[in-house]
Amino acid sequence: METRRGARMVIDPKVRQVGFVTPGSELGRPAAPEPPGAAAPVPVVANSPSPVIIPLLLIPDTSSLRTTPLPVPSPPSRRVVAAPPADDSMPLGSYNPSDAILGSSQGSSERTGNNDKHGSAPTDSLADMSLSNASTLAIRLEGLNVTNDGISNVLSTSTVRSAVAAAPTSVEHAFQTSSGQGIIGSVPAVSVDMAAAANPQADPRPMPLKDRTSKAERRAIQEAQRAAKAAAKGVGTDIAAIADGNVANEVKSSKPSSQKKGLSEKKPAVFSDKKPVVSSDKKPVVSSDKKSAEKASEKDKRKDIPAPRMQFDDEQRVAKAKRRSLIEQTEAKNRVELFRHLPQFLHGTQLPSLESKFFHEDPLHPHPSVFQVGLQYLTREIVGGNARCIAMLMAFRDMINDYSTPMEKTLVRDLTAKINSHVSFLITCRPISISMGNAIKFLKTRIASLPVTVSEFEAKHSLILEIDRFIQEKIVFADNEIVKHAVTKIRDGDVLLTHGSSCVVEMILVRAFELGKKFQVVVIDSRPRLEGKGLLRRLLGKGLHCTYTHINAASYAMQGVTRVFLGAASVLSNGTVYSRVGTACVAMVAHALGVPVMICCETYKFHERVQLDSICSNELGDPDALVEVHGRKDVYSLRGWADSKHLHVLNLMYDATPADYVSMIITELGMVPPTSVPVILREYRKVPYVM
Amino acid sequence: MGPIMKFQVVVLAGGMSKKLFPLVSKDVPKALLPVGNRPVLSYVLELLEANNLKDLIVVVAGEDAAVRVGGWITEAYDGRLHVEVAAVSEDIGTADALRAVLHRLVVDDVLVVSGDIVSDVPLGAIAAAHRRKRAVLTAMLCSSPSASTAEAISSTGKDKAKKPSPIDIVGLDTSHQHLLFLASGTQVDKDVKIRRSLIRVVDQMEIHMDLMDAHLYAFNRAILQEVLELCQGIKSIKQDLVPYLVRSQSKFGAIASGDTQTEAVGKTPNKDDSGQPQTPMQDIVPLPQHILPGVLHPASLELTCCVYIASEGKYCSRVNSIQTYGDINRDQVAGELVFLTGYTVSNQNNVIHPTAEIGSKTTVGPQCMVGDGSKLGDKCSVKKSIVGRHCRIGSNVKIINSVVMNHVTVEDGCLIQGSVICSNVHLQERANLKDCQVGAGYIITANSEHKAEALSKREKS
């Protein structure tokens, strides 16, 4: 039984993670989770009773996992079909290891998801690392119940306990997600059996995943991805078993503390009839200090995050957000299934509705400057990470300047709330970038750290100074430093290639040209925005020698190129570069041809998040932008695409370039390999943005 | 709270209009000319009120007119709008009028609205477009009423006396967002001169004849003040100020891009310290561009005169000639615009005030409006016309395609066709009017017949 579950658990995420889930294919699936015939005890497969021991990132595990399913009586066709794509579809060789774990480390996904969400503090991750070394990873995912509550799908509880002396520590996660709608009322349990067949006899209860909706499946994709991140981070955690049913109940009394605390912290979890209880026969000696530390850090983390990302396939949440939002948002038709969790709205309707509200006066109405910036985001008049960030900060600066604390309110709280509402306004105009998120975080920390005694005038003054300083030091001076560093890498005779239009790269090129270096520039551009044209025009205006081509000629254009300079929207802590779509392609081509790829990115854009793909977090552009081809009036075959329900048009804005394809990241702190990103994050942001 | 969204509104209500000669008089300034039995100005004020703009400055030419307009506003909008009425001397241009209230303008942007607009365009959209582009000037354009005018002419019969409404010549960039050229048809003789430097910046330019300048502008306050103070020669907004700004934008643009280059490095984003901007342009160039040259599209950097083109479904028209006056009144009763007036429409598709008395066998056709307290005798026929308040109309009167204002007495057997009858006019028996405009207080003798005439009392000397 355990095997069955284990196997299924392992595979399900794979299926979901890999397959491009289409509405049609879902039809057969909901039944799958509980193979009816499989309810009977199943021969225990070799690896099931004992924990699967997985070295930190191991590929072999995949194969073992792939083999395990076969003896299991659950519908084989699914597995057979499902499993191979899991491997095939991994686009990046280097990332296979993590993906292999992706399937298996479902339990640990909780942790990663957590880390990722909360932007784990370095200490936390270190602890995990150390832990992982000693640990074995045994996973049996009993049931993965995914919440459709977008915000709350952070794990409810996680406890770390060390089992027996010298035994591998295990982290046990009760993956308690309460489904908001009560679709899946019952218990989710990420159960991992620990020390050798502790309770293999746990009774095979039909899984709670009764009616799995497609929503749940999509959630599963995300969970899987988080798991992948966990793996990538090297968080090896052992996950303790959860025995359910009767076994659980008896144990429950003994260790409710951690569980309950975890839950209560989060929110009242909905327990239905079956109690999901964490259990393991041997009482874990809870290393209390660790636990409390973790809890504390978790609390901190929770405080830090602006808000968990909204999942836009959650209808209730979306409806709620819509009511609150100032902009009327009509949802796009023909949403691409895999990207349903991203905000996607019809671009045509937003502007008029926002315009009509221009003079409205209600408490939620944003400050004029913020409103203006929002309009400019909406119409894409301000684009580019730095420009957007600066525009936002300047708008907030204006707002703070005009701000006066209402009666009976404190500046710190009221201003924070005000900033929050303005940020959510900006988000409805266009999802904010990671760098903007960092800037907002910075601003809010500054506000929160204002002494209570300070007068309103002084507080405002100091905040305005802080904003100015942030722009100055983190963006303007940082860019200058980056230019200084990068110029040293440009030699006479170089052929430099860049993609799109990055303002830092432009500054570098212009500066190098001014220094009299002799080089050529290849500008690679991509539809639909063709931002490279602007760059090209400006470079040509300065007198640089340029070549311009589109990304489909990248492999050709790359020949003879000696350096690739790329901008980035963000650099994530695993070294992944999150940047304008097309960057990954260029970086890979460059890598294949042995051309060094330099990413130019200010450190304020760095983020603790770990992301392996460009699916779980991205931004969707206007699909209609792809329909028209600039300068080709005769190309109109896509017109009216929305009427065909078989066609989905996807306009992604960003992609993730794995660290392997990045030779160097040029920051204002120097030129570092992508592996050093966590160091920068750790060392320079111990106290966030101490300057 | 200061003005909402940092916009102030100036309504140029005008005074006496020569174009509307027999209709406006000392007693009835242009702003109070009834359209659909309501003063023209009320449409603007209500448009503003609907857009939550409640602090207004109304500029009226002439002291008397200002008193009248002010009196009417306080009566009608007491407590709803906060209106300052400013009087300027008559016979000065619109720009001069604006200059007179310049010192009252304090916030970022100014919305200048002509008082004779009847429209339902969303002002927020204009303001938003203005802000979004950080424009110096945003002009609202609406599709020119030439088509409807043509119909009106044909329906009212030919009258050659009336000039065709002046056509505006509008130059736009391909995105239809920037204003590159603006001239009214009367100004242009044969050639349209366009600066080559402008074309160099924009590559392409579209010339539109089908758009009309609605005399609704958003100005950047700092620039407006600067320009109006520097160039005293600017008299009229439409003819001098707007073309001046439009012409200057490419010049300003050059300055702006020069700034970005020279100040690209290390300019402190500290607006407060710098105080007042030295040149107009410095204020426009947004700070991020100082810091990051070329982040934005260069075109948006240089072109700062924008347009907002009213969408098709929106109505916008100006009462600036007798013809448009008639058209608007007709449009209104034709049902298209009834929603603007706020009256409820009866089953017969007309608006008859409950206090109006209508005699037996009198028919009030569809698309008509009869004001309160008016009395219609027996066997009258009213078609496509507006009858004002407290009119006394005898028996056997036919009113077709006409506007009859308040307190008009029409005796038996009159025929009024395609005419505008002002207040307090007395039509004696069996008068026959066709395509006439009758000034206030005029008395038309019995059995007289007039065709295409403008009748008015001699001004008392």
Confidence check: pLDDT of A145 > 90: no
Confidence check: pLDDT of A396 > 90: yes
Q: Which stretch of DSSP H or E encloses residue B46?
A: helix B40-50
Cis? peptide before A528, omega within 30° of 0: yes
Confidence check: pLDDT of A228 > 80: no
CA distance B31 to chain A (A): 25
CA distance B418 to chain A (A): 38
Residues of B in contact with A362 (CB under 8 A): none
Mean pLDDT computed over A286-309: 54
pLDDT tens digit string along B160-187?
A: 334 445 677 888 877 788 888 887 766 6
CB-based contact (8 Å) between B200 and chain A?
no
Sign of CA dihedral B200, B201, B205, B210: negative
Q: How does residue B73 score in pLDDT terms, banded at 50, 70 and 90?
A: confident
Q: How many CB atoms lie within 10 A of CB B407?
A: 19
CA distance B126 to chain A (A): 8
Q: How does residue A180 score in pLDDT terms, banded at 50, 70 and 90?
A: very low
CB-based contact (8 Å) between B447 and chain A?
no
Residues of A in contact with B300 (CB under 8 A): 381
What pLDDT score does A160 carry?
35
| Cβ contact B128–A538 (<8 Å) | no
Q: How many CB atoms lie within 10 A of CB A428?
A: 23
Residues A12 and A509: their CA atoms lie apart, in Å, by 49
Residues A38 and A90: their CA atoms lie apart, in Å, by 30
- Of the two residues B362 and A69, the one the predictor is more confident about is B362
Residue B274 covered by a domain: yes
Residues of A in contact with B129 (CB under 8 A): 355
Which of A351, A357, A359, A508 best tests the B interface by mutation, with the highest count of B CBs <10 A? Answer: A359
Residues of B in contact with A358 (CB under 8 A): 5, 51, 123-125, 127-128
Nearest by CB: B125 against A356, A371, A372: A356
Mean pLDDT computed over A81-106: 39
Range from A55-69, A261-275, B198-212 that averages highest in pLDDT: B198-212
pLDDT tens digit string along B272-281?
A: 333 333 333 3
Residue B126 covered by a domain: yes
Mean pLDDT computed over A316-331: 67
Measured between CA atoms, the residue of chain B closest to residue A381 is B296
- Is residue B318 domain-shared with residue B186, that is, in the same domain? yes
| Cβ contact A355–B125 (<8 Å) | yes
CB pairs under 8 A between A and B: 101
| Cβ contact B128–A355 (<8 Å) | yes
Residue B89 covered by a domain: yes
| Cβ contact A368–B5 (<8 Å) | yes
Q: How does residue A234 score in pLDDT terms, banded at 50, 70 and 90?
A: low
pLDDT tens digit string along A411-442?
A: 888 899 889 989 988 888 888 899 999 999 99
- Is residue B361 domain-shared with residue B398, that is, in the same domain? yes
Give chain A's mean pLDDT: 67
| Cβ contact A384–B127 (<8 Å) | no
Q: From residue A308, how far is each of A116, A119, A338, A524, B363 by CA, in Å?
A: 10, 11, 19, 35, 69
- Is residue B321 domain-shared with residue B398, that is, in the same domain? no
Confidence check: pLDDT of B112 > 60: yes
- Of the two residues A321 and A558, the one the predictor is more confident about is A558
- Of the two residues B346 and A294, the one the predictor is more confident about is B346
- Is residue B64 domain-shared with residue B149, that is, in the same domain? yes
What pLDDT score does A294 carry?
58
What pLDDT score does B209 carry?
79
Residues A573 and B178: their CA atoms lie apart, in Å, by 44
- Is residue B157 domain-shared with residue B196, that is, in the same domain? yes
Confidence check: pLDDT of B407 > 80: yes
Q: How many CB atoms lie within 10 A of CB B230?
A: 10
Range from A554-558, A612-616, B164-168, B303-307 that averages highest in pLDDT: A554-558
Question: pTM value?
Answer: 0.65
Residues A659 and A681: their CA atoms lie apart, in Å, by 16
Mean pLDDT computed over A678-683: 88
Mean pLDDT computed over A620-641: 78
Domain hosting residue B424, numbered range: 347-455
What pLDDT score does A300 carry?
56
Residue B334 covered by a domain: no
Residues of A in contact with B53 (CB under 8 A): 359
CB-based contact (8 Å) between B7 and chain A?
yes
Mean pLDDT computed over B373-402: 86
Tell me the CATH number at B377: 2.160.10.10
- Is residue B47 domain-shared with residue B176, that is, in the same domain? yes
What pLDDT score does A547 carry?
93
Confidence check: pLDDT of B256 > 50: no
Confidence check: pLDDT of A471 > 80: yes
Q: How many domains does chain B have?
A: 2
Residue B219 covered by a domain: yes
| Cβ contact A387–B287 (<8 Å) | no
CA distance A31 to chain B (A): 52
Confidence check: pLDDT of B38 > 50: yes
| Cβ contact B124–A358 (<8 Å) | yes
Which residues 6+ apart lie within 8 Å of A165 measured at CB?
A: none
Which of B177, B292, B300 best tests the A interface by mutation, with the highest count of A CBs <10 A? Answer: B292
CA distance B316 to chain A (A): 17
CA neighbor of B38 nearest in space, from B295, B278, B301, B342: B342
What pLDDT score does A255 carry?
42
Using beta carbons and an 8 Å cutoff, which residues of A are at the interface with B? 351-352, 354-361, 368, 371-372, 375-376, 379, 381-382, 384, 386-387, 390-391, 394, 401, 468, 471-472, 475-477, 479-480, 503, 506, 534, 537-538
Both ends of chain B: CA-CA distance in Å? 50
Confidence check: pLDDT of B378 > 50: yes
Confidence check: pLDDT of B391 > 70: yes
Q: How does residue B25 score in pLDDT terms, banded at 50, 70 and 90?
A: confident
Residue B340 covered by a domain: no
What pLDDT score does A673 carry?
93
Mean pLDDT computed over A672-689: 80
Residue B338 covered by a domain: no
Which of A327, A358, A383, A460 best tests the B interface by mutation, with the highest count of B CBs <10 A? Answer: A358
| Cβ contact B128–A384 (<8 Å) | no
| Cβ contact A375–B128 (<8 Å) | yes
Sheet holding B109-114, edge to edge: B82-88, B55-61, B7-14, B109-114, B211-220, B137-143, B305-309
Hey, is A117 helix, strand or coil? Answer: helix
Q: How does residue A640 score in pLDDT terms, banded at 50, 70 and 90?
A: confident
Measured between CA atoms, the residue of chain B closest to residue A390 is B288
Q: Lowest-confidence range among A188-192, A287-291, A397-401, A495-499?
A: A188-192
Both ends of chain A: CA-CA distance in Å? 57
CA distance A604 to chain B (A): 16
Mean pLDDT computed over A7-32: 41
What pLDDT score does A439 carry?
92
What pLDDT score does A672 carry?
92
Mean pLDDT computed over A546-573: 92
- Of the two residues B283 and B84, the one the predictor is more confident about is B84
Mean pLDDT computed over A483-491: 93
Nearest by CB: B300 against A361, A375, A381: A381
Q: Could you say which DSSP state residue A531 is in?
A: T
Give chain B's mean pLDDT: 74
| Cβ contact A375–B122 (<8 Å) | no
Measured between CA atoms, the residue of chain A closest to residue B124 is A358
Nearest by CB: B53 against A352, A359, A386: A359
| Cβ contact B269–A372 (<8 Å) | no
Q: Over pLDDT 70: what percentage of chain A? A: 52
- Is residue B147 domain-shared with residue B256, that is, in the same domain? yes
Tell me the CATH number at B88: 3.90.550.10
Residue B304 covered by a domain: yes
- Of the two residues B159 and A311, the one the predictor is more confident about is A311
| CA dihedral of residues A401, A402, A408, A414 (deg, nearest 10) | -60
- Is residue B306 domain-shared with residue B370, that is, in the same domain? no
- Is residue B63 domain-shared with residue B168, that is, in the same domain? yes
Confidence check: pLDDT of B191 > 90: no
Cβ atoms of B455 and B433 closer than 8 Å: no
pLDDT tens digit string along B413-438?
A: 888 888 888 888 888 888 888 888 88
| Cβ contact B124–A371 (<8 Å) | no
| CA dihedral of residues A88, A90, A91, A97 (deg, nearest 10) | -120
CA distance B6 to chain A (A): 7
Residues of B in contact with A375 (CB under 8 A): 128, 131-132
Confidence check: pLDDT of B342 > 80: no
Residues of A in contact with B5 (CB under 8 A): 358-359, 368, 371
Range from A126-130, A462-466, B4-8 that averages highest in pLDDT: A462-466
Q: How does residue A326 score in pLDDT terms, banded at 50, 70 and 90?
A: low
Measured between CA atoms, the residue of chain B closest to residue A375 is B132
Q: From residue A677, how far is each of A111, A573, A609 by CA, in Å?
A: 21, 5, 11
ipTM of the complex in this document: 0.76
Confidence check: pLDDT of A650 > 80: yes
What is the Cβ-side half-sphere exposure of residue B312, based on CA atoms within 13 angstroms? Answer: 0
| Cβ contact A358–B128 (<8 Å) | yes
- Is residue B204 domain-shared with residue B76, that is, in the same domain? yes
pLDDT tens digit string along B199-214?
A: 777 777 888 878 888 8
- Is residue B295 domain-shared with residue B353, that is, in the same domain? no
- Is residue B284 domain-shared with residue B422, that is, in the same domain? no
Q: How does residue B352 score in pLDDT terms, banded at 50, 70 and 90?
A: confident
What pLDDT score does A309 carry?
62
Confidence check: pLDDT of B296 > 70: no
Nearest by CB: B295 against A351, A358, A503: A503
| Cβ contact B129–A480 (<8 Å) | no
Measured between CA atoms, the residue of chain A closest to residue B130 is A372
What pLDDT score does B204 carry?
77
Domain end residue (candidates: B263, B298, B327): B327
Q: Lowest-confidence range among A126-140, A202-216, A362-376, A511-525?
A: A126-140
Q: How does residue A296 score in pLDDT terms, banded at 50, 70 and 90?
A: low
CB-based contact (8 Å) between B4 and chain A?
yes
Measured between CA atoms, the residue of chain A closest to residue B293 is A503
Confidence check: pLDDT of B27 > 80: no
Domain end residue (candidates: B292, B327, B362): B327
Q: How does residue A397 score in pLDDT terms, banded at 50, 70 and 90?
A: very high
CB-based contact (8 Å) between B313 and chain A?
no
Q: Lowest-confidence range among A334-343, A567-576, B14-23, B299-308?
A: B299-308
| Cβ contact A468–B127 (<8 Å) | no
Nearest by CB: B52 against A354, A359, A476: A359
Q: Over pLDDT 90: what percentage of chain A? A: 25
Residues of A in contact with B51 (CB under 8 A): 358-359
Measured between CA atoms, the residue of chain A closest to residue B107 is A368
